[in-house]
Amino acid sequence: MQGAAHRRRDLLRGLSACYRRQAPGEPRTVGYLYILPALIVFGAFLLWPLLQTFWLSLLRWDGLTRATWAGWGNYRDLLTDPALRAPFAHAAVLLLFYAALPVSLGLLLTGALTRFRIRGMTFFRTVLFLPQVLAMVVVGVAWRAILAPDGLLNDMLGVIGLGGLARSWLGDDTWALTAVGAVGTWVETGLCLVLFLAGAQRIPRELYEAARIDGAGAVREFVTVTLPGLRAEIAVALTLTMVAGLRNFDLIYMTTSGGPGNATSVPAFEVYRRAFETGEVGSASAMGITLTVVIFSLTIAVTRLVEGRTR
């Protein structure tokens, strides 16, 4: 009897150990079944078109006649043809306006708002976030009117005695890209500010009190408390704003259409122009694939950088 009791006890211990080794919840295969519909939609509407685009990038095709094999020729053209490199250079400039400036302004405003109490904070945040609610086509139409030669900006410059600075902002080779970038800064700053203010609310107030007891001023408090606490939000803001800057199409289309000349042409607009206007589908596909790789690489780089800092 005693031996049977020992065997029964050992059996119960073995079953208990097996139960503890199993993962809690549903089996893993059931989890895959849950996400299968989403994977099917993802593959049908994203991965398959992406593979088709890559195949087209290896061809020379005008969209109508018989295609010919180009191999990696379309990608070599991206490196050697100045007309194809210029849109990527313009996109790099726009990253300063779409990502660097909005993130910097958002952090500056967040640092000020976390240290000083300002009345009407909700209204202030709503006004700054408003451009994110508007369709970019509406933003483009509005700013095209503001930046026109007889638009509001030139009228205001004349009123304050700076009429000599008035110009056709979107028709000037020197200022067109900067003008479009300034619109991007106006659009993205509100998004960054809302993200940073939301992140600042979860930073323990005790950290600010401790910094002030140690005699930290506004700048030191921002660098030692606010900035480290917003690392995750900064990564999200950089990712969203960089993607917005690189895939910029509707704003360019509504304001300058890539002009004057090609002064404001960007990769997304150039893909459209070559595919549907000049009949260079292979070149447009190669540019689209390259743009996808650039966006994917920058997103991974930002994510890895933040993860490395938080470990």
Residue 93 reports pLDDT greater than 50? yes
CB 99 within 8 A of CB 238: yes
| Residue 21 belongs to a domain | no
- Residue 69 has phi, psi (to 5 degrees) of -75, 130
- Closest-CA residue to 111 (of 196, 204, 232, 189): 196
Average pLDDT over every residue of 264-275 = 94
| pLDDT for residue 266 is more than 70 | yes
Residue 194 is part of a domain; what is its CATH number? Answer: 1.10.3720.10
Residue 19 has pLDDT above 50, yes or no: no
Asked if residue 49 is part of any domain, the answer here is no
User: What b/e readout covers 122-159, taking b as 16+ CB neighbours within 10 angstroms?
Assistant: eeebeebeebeeeebeebbeebbebbeeebebbeeeee
Q: What is the DSSP code string of 269-311?
A: HHHHHHHHTS--HHHHHHHHHHHHHHHHHHHHHHHHHHHHHH-
Whether residue 119 lies inside any domain: the answer is yes
Task: Judge whether residue 91 has pLDDT over 50.
Answer: yes
Q: At what angle do helices 281-310 and 82-95 cross, to 10 degrees?
A: 30
What tens digit of pLDDT does each residue of 29-52 get? 788 888 999 999 999 999 999 999
Residue 29 lies in a domain: no
**Helices 231-246 and 82-95 meet at what angle, rounded to 10?**
150
Are 299 and 291 within 8 A, CB to CB? no
pLDDT digits (tens, 9 = 90+) for 165-218: 999 999 999 999 999 999 999 999 999 998 998 898 888 888 888 888 888 788
Q: Is the pLDDT of residue 83 over 80?
A: yes
Q: What pLDDT, on a 0 to 100 scale, did the predictor assign at position 206?
A: 87
Domain count, the chain: 1
- CB-based contacts of 131: which residues, under 8 Å, 6+ apart? 139, 186, 187, 188, 190
Q: Average pLDDT, stretch 290-294?
A: 95
Task: Give the model's confidence band at 3: pLDDT under 50 very low, under 70 low, under 90 confident, else very high.
Answer: low
pLDDT at 127: 81
In a domain, 222, yes or no: yes
What local confidence, expressed as pLDDT, does residue 28 receive?
Answer: 73
Residue 60 has pLDDT above 90, yes or no: yes
Q: What is the 3-state secondary structure (H, E, C) of 217-266?
A: CHHHHHHHHHHHHCHHHHHHHHHHHHHHHHCCCHHHHHHCCCCCCCCCCC
pTM to 2 decimal places = 0.84
Q: Examine residue 95 and state whether it is found in any structural domain, yes or no.
A: yes
- Confidence (pLDDT) at 31: 80
Q: Is residue 30 part of a domain?
A: no
Q: What is the mean pLDDT of the chain?
A: 87
Note the pLDDT of residue 130: 86
Q: Give the range of the structural domain holding residue 259, as residue numbers without chain letter.
A: 84-310
Please give the residue that has the higher pLDDT: either 126 or 61. 61
Residue range 280-289, pLDDT digits in tens:
999 999 999 9
How far is the C-alpha of 276 from the C-alpha of 42, rounded, in Å?
A: 26
Range 264-284 average pLDDT: 94
Q: Which amino acid is at 259?
A: G
194 is a domain residue: yes
257 or 17, higher pLDDT: 257
Cis, bond preceding 27 (omega within 30 deg of 0)? no
